[in-house]
């Protein structure tokens, strides 16, 4: 249940990191979009970017400077292949990292997929008072992370970042 506060209906942006996905076949990005909208949140922007460190950082920093975007969810590129650089790009801009997000995500993933959950480098943190979440690219992973961790806590995360 999402707490009732002035951030109970948020405006979010979604970034899919992939060398192969398009808007038409990006099931993970579309799943996040649907889950957010089904929870009365608004998706302000949605982009797909190649696995390029500079491009990922540029988009995230631009979004963090837009007052209309209150939270960002990134999907894809959190594994261990040579092309997986999302974790490095996202954490390079964090002002603070929410280590518990990745820990809980891997714990919940372990219940579903066993020891392979260790290979996820899911993370969350903030920049310019904007929460940023990074999830793996699989549809099951984004469903798990969005339903179990992001939706129940994103409003509180935003509220905490705006406290003085």
Residue 156, domain member (yes or no): yes
| pLDDT on residue 127 | 98
Give the integer Cα–Cα distance in Å for 139 and 66.
28
List the end-to-end C-alpha distance of the chain, in Å, as a whole number. 25
Domain residues for the domain of 112 are 11-161
CATH number, residue 82: 3.40.980.10
Give yes or no for a contact between 70 and 11, defined as CB atoms under 8 angstroms apart: yes
Residue 84, domain member (yes or no): yes
Q: How far are the Cα atoms of 36, 92, 129, 156 from residue 95, in angstroms, in the given order? A: 25, 9, 9, 18
Residue 5, domain member (yes or no): no
| pLDDT on residue 3 | 43
Structural domain count of the chain: 1
Residue 90, domain member (yes or no): yes
The token pair at 107 is: 């714990």
Residue 1, domain member (yes or no): no
| pLDDT on residue 5 | 62
Residue 79, domain member (yes or no): yes
Provide the β-strand partners of residue 72.
Answer: 13, 132
Tokens 């993370």 -> residue:
123
Residue 4, domain member (yes or no): no
Give the integer Cα–Cα distance in Å for 49 and 27.
15
Residue 139, domain member (yes or no): yes
What residues in the chain have per-residue pLDDT under 70? 1-5
Tokens 């942006």 -> residue:
13
């Amino acid at each position: 249940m999402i707490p009732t506060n002035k951030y109970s209906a948020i405006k979010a942006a979604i970034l899919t990191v992939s060398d192969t996905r398009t808007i038409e076949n990006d099931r993970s990005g579309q799943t996040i979009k649907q889950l957010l909208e089904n929870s009365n949140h608004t998706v302000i922007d949605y982009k797909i970017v190649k696995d390029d460190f500079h491009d990922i950082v540029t988009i995230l920093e631009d979004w963090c400077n837009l007052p209309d975007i209150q939270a960002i969810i990134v999907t894809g590129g959190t594994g261990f292949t040579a092309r997986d650089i999302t974790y490095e790009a996202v954490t390079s801009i964090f002002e603070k990292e929410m280590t518990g997000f990745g820990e809980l995500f891997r714990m919940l993933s372990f219940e579903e997929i066993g020891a392979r959950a260790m290979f996820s480098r899911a993370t969350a943190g903030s920049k310019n008072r904007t929460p940023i979440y990074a999830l793996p690219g699989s549809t099951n992973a984004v469903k798990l992370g969005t339903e179990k961790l992001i939706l129940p806590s994103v409003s509180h995360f935003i509220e905490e970042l705006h406290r003085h």
